[in-house]
Amino acid sequence: MGYPHPSHPREQVLLSKYFGDSGARTYAGWVDRGGYQGLRKALGMSREALIEEVKASGLRGRGGAGFPTGLKWSFMPKDDGKPHYLVCNADESEPGTFKDREIMRWTPHALIEGCALAAYAIAAERCYIYIRGEFTEPWSVMTEAVREAYANGVLGRNALGSGHRIDITLHRGAGAYICGEETAMMNSIEGKRGNPRIKPPFPAVAGLFGMPTTINNVETLAATPHIVLQGAAFYKSLCLGNPKSTGTKLISVCGHVQRPGNYEITMGTPMRELIYDMCGGMRPGRTLKAVIPGGSSVPIMTADEAETCITDYEGVIEKGSMLGSGGMIVMDDSADMVYQVWRLARFYAHESCAQCTQCREGTAWTTRILERILAGKGKEADFQLLLDLSEQMTGKTICVLSDSCAAPIVSGIQKFRGEFEAYMSGARRPALASAL
């Protein structure tokens, strides 16, 4: 649903049905609402059948990478004798994204159900749910829900009487966006600095504590009981665009719309419908200028591109950007694009882990250049400099944080060059007092 607003008729409400319904938080409330049936059914299936079902549904990772979930689960070794781990990525820190938070604070048992289901599928006896430190409400809600789940036999040595052991541990993050990267998350759980790891080795081979590991996003896991209960065919049928993008996606719309919130759309819903119908369109007197659809780590789209875009993985790629986490930042004509690009670069500079030279120095340098432009001291040569640095920051590092910093910069210059030039020529007054 478009929480905090009522569901829009064009939404496909699956995961968000109980957003705002505090009764859904308790174990009893969840069972009343049909909860844990999906898990029960899954525990009665063989692991292979379960993985096949998820593969057939077309579910793809909802955290940002869009990797086919069933395929990822199938990478885990079978009968290798090693402990397997499931990690639930609840670090949600991608600017613009606020969906996992809602899933956890309104339907914590939905996440527990999804985690238990996935843990069973990949033969993991322990799942760590890594919740970012700032999510204090999801933390306390999830803590209580896990306690209830153990008390009611959903978790523990004999999950739902299946004979299988499933344990969940909540692990609290402490303020690092980079820990949302799957290998950095594993390091963080292990009690280390949240530095991303080089791959290979891949998590399914040597991940958490060196053991085979699968990392999945909150939304991805919450979708799995629905797939098991209603069948892969049903989930696959939820598709209005490219057949490779199926099911529903929670789009976190924020910024300059009348009704910001989480909207659960069928994959392939036209973006203009999402923005203008579901979200109520622009504020009075305003026109759409730009959209960053996937959280901030993707190229900025112009209004034209957004208004003709199909909201699914392939559709957004066709328009030169990426669906990513689905954190959609909408900007109207009042937005200062240069200022926004600077503010995003500053975000990445703050969050860089410091391992790779290009990221450590590049995110900070590009931020300074943009600051200087905003302070009225920019020059024509800055364009080429920013593009050069962005190229050096793309495709050359252990993780894609520096690529993510480059994306808004490159697309910002490509599509909104005039705004940068206005600062350089003095046509626009400086927005910042001084550069450093």
Site for other proteins in 192-251 (CB under 8 A): 192-194, 198, 209
Q: Whose Cβ is closer to other proteins: residue 38's or residue 295's?
A: 295
Closest Cα partner for 337 from 385, 408, 243, 262? 408
The answer to whether 87 touches 185, Cβ cutoff 8 Å, is yes
Q: Whose Cβ is closer to other proteins: residue 309's or residue 398's?
A: 398
- Measured from the CB of residue 254, what is the shortest distance to other proteins in angstroms? 4
- Measured from the CB of residue 334, what is the shortest distance to other proteins in angstroms? 9
Confirm or reject binding of residue 103 to other proteins (CB under 8 A).
Answer: no
Binder among 66, 372, 406, 423 for other proteins (CB under 8 A): 372
Q: Whose Cβ is closer to other proteins: residue 79's or residue 436's?
A: 436
Tokens 């900070």 belong to residue: 364
Q: Whose Cβ is closer to other proteins: residue 118's or residue 250's?
A: 250
Confirm or reject binding of residue 4 to other proteins (CB under 8 A).
Answer: yes
The answer to whether 185 touches 130, Cβ cutoff 8 Å, is yes
Q: Whose Cβ is closer to other proteins: residue 245's or residue 296's?
A: 296
Contacts of 371 (CB under 8 A, 6+ apart): 342, 432, 435, 436
Q: Whose Cβ is closer to other proteins: residue 160's or residue 353's?
A: 353
Instruction: Kindly determine how many residues on this chain lie close enough to bind other proteins according to the rule CB under 8 A.
Output: 81
For other proteins, the binding residues in 41-70 under the rule CB under 8 A are none
Q: Which stretch binds other proteins (CB under 8 A): 117-125, 240-248, 305-313, 352-360?
A: 352-360
- Measured from the CB of residue 137, what is the shortest distance to other proteins in angstroms? 5
Contacts of 86 (CB under 8 A, 6+ apart): 115, 118, 119, 122, 124, 126, 127, 128, 213, 214, 215, 216
Contacts of 228 (CB under 8 A, 6+ apart): 38, 39, 41, 42, 45, 50, 53, 54, 117
Q: Whose Cβ is closer to other proteins: residue 312's or residue 382's?
A: 382
> What is the identity of the amino acid at 43?
L
For other proteins, the binding residues in 164-193 under the rule CB under 8 A are 167, 169, 171-177, 188-193
- Measured from the CB of residue 8, what is the shortest distance to other proteins in angstroms? 14
Report the C-alpha gap between 142 and 45 in whole angstroms.
Answer: 27
Tokens 């990267």 belong to residue: 181
Confirm or reject binding of residue 420 to other proteins (CB under 8 A).
Answer: no
Tokens 């503010």 belong to residue: 343
Burial class (CB in 10 A: 0-12, 13-18, 19+), 9: exposed
Confirm or reject binding of residue 377 to other proteins (CB under 8 A).
Answer: yes
Task: Take residue 257 and report the two structure tokens written for it.
Answer: 């719309």
The answer to whether 366 touches 409, Cβ cutoff 8 Å, is yes
Q: Whose Cβ is closer to other proteins: residue 54's or residue 131's?
A: 131
Confirm or reject binding of residue 94 to other proteins (CB under 8 A).
Answer: yes
Tokens 């292979």 belong to residue: 48
Confirm or reject binding of residue 151 to other proteins (CB under 8 A).
Answer: no
Report the C-alpha gap between 8 and 108 in whole angstroms.
Answer: 23
Report the C-alpha gap between 341 and 331 in whole angstroms.
Answer: 12
For other proteins, the binding residues in 387-406 under the rule CB under 8 A are 392, 395-398
The answer to whether 351 touches 178, Cβ cutoff 8 Å, is yes
Binder among 34, 44, 133, 243 for other proteins (CB under 8 A): 133
Binder among 351, 399, 409, 413 for other proteins (CB under 8 A): 351
Confirm or reject binding of residue 34 to other proteins (CB under 8 A).
Answer: no
Tokens 């949240």 belong to residue: 194
Report the C-alpha gap between 354 and 91 in whole angstroms.
Answer: 19
Q: Which stretch binds other proteins (CB under 8 A): 7-15, 114-122, 326-334, 415-423?
A: 326-334
Report the C-alpha gap between 15 and 12 in whole angstroms.
Answer: 9
For other proteins, the binding residues in 249-308 under the rule CB under 8 A are 252-256, 260-262, 296
- Measured from the CB of residue 417, what is the shortest distance to other proteins in angstroms? 19
Site string for other proteins, 111-130 (x = CB under 8 A): ---------------x----
Report the C-alpha gap between 382 and 367 in whole angstroms.
Answer: 12
Confirm or reject binding of residue 411 to other proteins (CB under 8 A).
Answer: no
- Measured from the CB of residue 338, what is the shortest distance to other proteins in angstroms? 12
Confirm or reject binding of residue 335 to other proteins (CB under 8 A).
Answer: yes
Q: Whose Cβ is closer to other proteins: residue 231's or residue 255's?
A: 255
- Measured from the CB of residue 305, what is the shortest distance to other proteins in angstroms? 19
